[in-house]
Amino acid sequence: MTEFSSSVQMTVPFMRAWAVLQELEKWPQWTPTVRSVVRMDKEPLALGLRVKIARPKFGSDVWTVTSLQPYRGFTLATKRFGVVIKHKYDLVPSGVGSKATLTVRYEGLLAPVLATLAKKRLAQYLEIEALGLKSRAEGLR
């Protein structure tokens, strides 16, 4: 398996969750899975934006926004050991609130090996991030 995901139901509209999610530099304030986020470019969240993200146990990598649907989600991608790693963040209306789905996908020849090595930690990180997003978005009321 080279794809992992975690979803969380929130009691806030997806626009509120988007307000939290799109402020990349503030991620360390609501999830311990991110130590720091530094923009490499000055523009707002947009295709091609590069950010350096430091994660415990995973180190630092420069990530690029490779897809973007304003208010709905985006994908960050980096390359490590010849493997493309994509983090996708999706928001959709759901019931009286919204639902966030966070997905990590490994692509490339060594993807199965790296994904297997990181499987347990990735599952934990995705769950922690989803719950952190929920807590932060619901706390903004």
| pLDDT of amino acid 41 | 87
| pLDDT of amino acid 140 | 67
Domain residue spans in the chain? 3-139
Q: Which stretches of the chain score pLDDT less than 70?
A: 1, 140-141
Domain 3-139, what fold? Alpha-D-Glucose-1,6-Bisphosphate; Chain A, domain 4 (3.30.530)
| pLDDT of amino acid 131 | 96
DSSP per position, the chain: --EEEEEEEESS-HHHHHHHHT-GGGHHHH-TT-SEEEESSSS-S-TT-EEEEEETTTEEEEEEEEEEETTTEEEEEEEETTEEEEEEEEEEEETTEEEEEEEEEEESTTHHHHHHHHHHHHHHHHHHHHHHHHHHHHHT-
